Amino acid sequence: MALQPHENGGTDHRLPVRDGRDQRRQVSGEGPGYQLLPRTTEPEDRTVSRIYDITQPIRSGIPVWPGDTDYAEQRVWAIDASCPVNVSRLTLSTHTGTHADAPLHYDAGGLPIGAVDLDLYLGPALVLHLPPGLNRVESGHLAGRVPTGTRRLLLRTYDRFPQDVWDSDFTAIGADTIDSLAGQGVRLIGVDAPSLDPQSSKTMDAHMAVRRHGMAILEGLVLDDVPEGMFELIALPLRLATADAAPVRAILRSL
């Protein structure tokens, strides 16, 4: 019986036991969006930090942007009497699930994802909750809530992320909100929505604001189980040398 994460959110010094059921739950995206893992392997350091997995599980049927490429996984080699390995081929959009946009996505001359500064995707990040169902996050929604020195800001707009259905009416971020955050020193904006701009946008105003300020973007985060506050963000994009975006395995670690 795998040890359940500590319910009271406290530090649990027991080491979690992982079993097959636990792994299956992790693959399916069921179960809590966090794991309790030892912060170090040093026996004398029994501190346990909580890791929140804020990444959508990429699986067959994952909802994608209307008209975009469905995710597919084909077994090219399969273990049998003459073959010792399973090897698969993946077909997916660069914007599948939880991903990082490259400047190339919204700027024909922008950097591809394989060339972006990794420092932006690694370090202290503030998580803030917004009321669900907003049309757009305005500066007023964040007034007084972003402490000076905040470099990475993750915005939760869903109480429960729609894992299995596409939501065309997701909450967008106002371009003036991006401008205001950039003016406060924010360098990375992350959202649980599939885009900063509304699905119908043709002008991509929020992306253009990000471009003006040289900010980084994470989209498609899953922040359901994450309380407001400061965490360590780790969300490194795959090094796709010439691509316009890349999947990330995004996690937050309690500080």
Ligand X SMILES: Nc1ccccc1C(=O)C[C@H](N)C(=O)O
Total residues contacting Zn ion by CB under 5 A comes to 4
Is residue 109 packed enough to be buried (19+ CB in 10 Å), middle (13-18) or exposed (0-12)?
exposed
β-strand partners of 188: 152, 216
For the annotated binding site, the residues are: 65, 95, 99, 101, 207, 219
Site string for ligand X, 108-147 (x = CB under 6 A): ----------------------------------------
Whether 105 is catalytic is: yes
Q: Which of 219, 226, 237, 254 binds ligand X (CB under 6 A)?
A: 219
Q: Are 30 and 225 in contact (CB under 8 A)?
A: no
Count CA within 13 A, CB hemisphere, residue 168. 4
- Residue whose CB is less far from ligand X, 190 or 194: 194
Q: Which of 36, 51, 56, 95 binds ligand X (CB under 6 A)?
A: 95
Max CA pair span of the chain? 64
Q: Are 55 and 222 in contact (CB under 8 A)?
A: yes
Does position 68 interact with ligand X (CB under 6 A)? The reply is yes
Q: Are 43 and 237 in contact (CB under 8 A)?
A: no
Which residues, 57 to 96, sit near Zn ion by CB under 5 A? 95
CA gap 34, 13 in Å, rounded: 15
**96 binding partner (options ligand X, Zn ion, none; Cβ < 5 to 8 Å by kind):** none
Minimal distance, residue 95 CB to ligand X, in Å: 3
Binding site for ligand X (CB under 6 A): 65, 68, 93, 95, 101, 105, 194-195, 197, 219
Binding site for Zn ion (CB under 5 A): 95, 101, 195, 219
